[in-house]
Structure 1
Amino acid sequence: MIRFDQVVKRFGDHTVLDRLDLRVRRGERVTLIGPSGSGKTTILRLLMTLERVTEGTIHVAGEPFSHMPGAKGDLVPADEKYVRAHRQRIGMVFQQFNLFPNMKVLENVTEAPIHVLGLGKDEAVERARGLLDLVGLADKEGAHPTRLSGGQQQRVAIARALAMRPDVLLLDEVTSALDPELVAGVLDVLRDIAAGTDITMLCVTHEMGFARDVSDQVMMFDRGKILESGSPERLFEDPEHERTRSFLGAVL
Structure 2
Amino acid sequence: MITFDAVEKRFGDNVVLRELSFDVAPGEHVTLIGPSGSGKTTILRLLMTLEKVNSGTISVAGRYLSHMVKGDKLVPSDEKYCREVRMRIGMVFQQFNLFPNMTVRGNLIEAPTRVLGLSKDEANARAQDLLDLVGLGEKIDAHPTQLSGGQQQRVAIARALAMRPDVLLLDEVTSALDPELVAGVLKLLRDIGESTDITILCVTHEMGFARDFSDRVMMFDGGRVIEDAPPEKIFSDPDHRRTQDFLQAVLNH
Using the size of structure 2 for normalisation, the TM-score is: 0.98
Residue 28 in structure 1 maps to residue 28 in structure 2? yes
CA deviations over 1:157-206 (Å, ceiling 9, x no partner): 00000000111000000011111111111111101100100000000000
What residue in structure 1 maps to residue 73 of structure 2?
74
Q: State the identity as a percent.
A: 72
Structure 1: which amino acid aligns with 2:122? E
CA deviations over 1:69-126 (Å, ceiling 9, x no partner): 022x121000111111111011000001111112111111111100111100110011
Cα separation, 2, equivalents of 1:192 and 1:36: 28
Cα separation, 1, equivalents of 2:234 and 2:98: 36
CA deviations over 1:108-158 (Å, ceiling 9, x no partner): 111110011110011001111111011111111111110000000000000
Structure 1: which amino acid aligns with 2:43? I
How far is the alpha carbon of 1:22 from its aligned partner?
1.1
Residue 245 in structure 1 maps to residue 229 in structure 2? no
Question: Unmatched 5+ residue regions in structure 2?
Answer: none
Query: SS of 1:101's equivalent?
Result: coil
Cα separation, 2, equivalents of 1:144 and 1:58: 37
Cα separation, 1, equivalents of 2:52 and 2:36: 20
What residue in structure 1 maps to residue 16 of structure 2?
16
What residue in structure 2 maps to residue 193 of structure 1?
192
Task: Figure out how many residues of one structure are paired with residues of the other and give that number.
Answer: 251
Question: Unmatched 5+ residue regions in structure 1?
Answer: none
What residue in structure 2 maps to residue 61 of structure 1?
61
Structure 2: which amino acid aligns with 1:222? D
Cα separation, 1, equivalents of 2:172 and 2:11: 22
What residue in structure 1 maps to residue 99 of structure 2?
100
Query: SS of 2:233's equivalent?
Result: helix
Structure 2: which amino acid aligns with 1:45? R
What residue in structure 1 maps to residue 204 of structure 2?
205
Query: SS of 1:194's equivalent?
Result: helix
Structure 2: which amino acid aligns with 1:13? D
Structure 2: which amino acid aligns with 1:153? Q
CA deviations over 1:11-47 (Å, ceiling 9, x no partner): 0111000000011000000000000000000000000
Cα separation, 1, equivalents of 2:49 and 2:94: 17
Provide the alpha-carbon RMSD of the alignment: 0.6
Using the size of structure 1 for normalisation, the TM-score is: 0.99
